[in-house]
Structure 1
Amino acid sequence: MVDAVSRTEFRNAMARVCAPVNVITTNGPAGRGGFTATAMCSVTDEPPTLLVCMNSRSAQSEMFFGNGRFCVNVLTGEHKELAAFFAGQQADMAARYAAAEWIDLSSGNQALADAIVSFDCRLVETRRVGTHNIFIGEVVEIRSRRDGHALLYFDRNYVHVPTQTGSFGG
């Protein structure tokens, strides 16, 4: 029988996995909220779907459930302070939003004006696993820019790794 992996061992190993930094926002009848997340990935491209993980103990969980929508904003190296604010360094939600420029989307969500890409999502499924809620969202709108370098999280630090081209083809 194999011994179980400890929480600390798992967390230390996951710190060695590089991940993009995102600010996940919501706006609607349940209120305006947002948090910083690295646990985001695509699920499928038909229909275009993403998943985001949020700590289930967050006071904002019910807001995301109640609004039934969220927007994934992929950050650039210039957004380190904003990432820290939405990670909880700034408790006041109005102050978090005041630290950047936002664009109103047709869904009612707000997208970060200078995000590399913003995925506006309709919440289609949720599931609780351990300490976190998994939000699965169908992408209803995409805003993107052709320049910028992603802000990444590695070894418990924000890192900025420029690409050779800084943009994608197409």
Structure 2
Amino acid sequence: MISVDRDVFIAAMRCVASSVCVVTTDGPAGRHGATVSAFCSVSADPPTVLVCLNMTSKIAQLVRENGVFKVSILPDGAKHIAERFAGMHDSTVADRFEGIETSGALHGITGATILSCTLSQAVEEGSHLVCMGRVQDVTLGANLPLTYLAGRYHPLSREGIAQ
């Protein structure tokens, strides 16, 4: 099988703009949260989403063991939350949730659009665990999402967006 060069693949993926999401979980295995770059809708019938989690990460282990997760699609202006859950402050903050306002049992990020999910399938692919979750509840955020492109956060404009 022919595979593209890793650096070329990464350069291509940096051309894809995406919403910035934090995946959280809580249950018998423990509580954790992490910023993810791979999130999308799978199906509307039934409502299903997927997130890709690095297989060696704590969040992947806990989502698999707890069997539940929340996806918080961060609102514009929440760069500090994205960085916190990406682990950028782990050396100075013992708990990623410290000082972050959350809601519900699985600690969705307050102000975000939140999808509460039950893990329906987990598939190992390359270095990641692809987690599909049936959406059990949705909380809509009021703001446009924080977006990420080419290694930087970018604001969106309401101009041209149907309301």
TM-score by length of 2: 0.92
Structure 1, residues 7-55: CA drift from partner, whole Å, max 9, x if none? 0000011001101100110011111001101200000011100000001
- Is there any run of 5+ residues in structure 1 with no aligned partner, and where? none
Question: What is the aligned partner in structure 2 of residue 10 from structure 1?
Answer: 9
* Counterpart check, 1:162 vs 2:161: no
After the TM superposition, which segments of 4 or more aligned residues of structure 1 sit over 4 Å from their partners?
A: none
Partner in structure 2 of residue 38 of structure 1: 37
Which structure shows the bigger proportion of residues in helix conformation? Answer: 1
Q: Distance in 2 between matches of 1:13 and 1:39?
A: 14
Matched, 1:110 2:94: no
- Paired residues, number: 162
Aligned twin of 1:129: 125
Identity level (%): 32
Q: Distance in 2 between matches of 1:6 and 1:80?
A: 30
RMSD: 1.9
TM-score (norm: length of structure 1): 0.88
Contact 1:26–1:34 (8 Å) recurs in 2:
yes
| Counterpart-to-counterpart distance in 2, 1:16 and 1:52 | 19
1:165, distance to aligned residue in structure 2 (A): 7.7
Preserved CA contact (<8 Å) 2:23 2:70: yes
- State the Cα distance separating 1:164 from its structure 2 match: 2.6
Query: Which residue is 1:78 aligned to?
Result: 77
Aligned to 2:134: 138
CA–CA distance in 2 between the matches of 1:163 and 1:138? 30
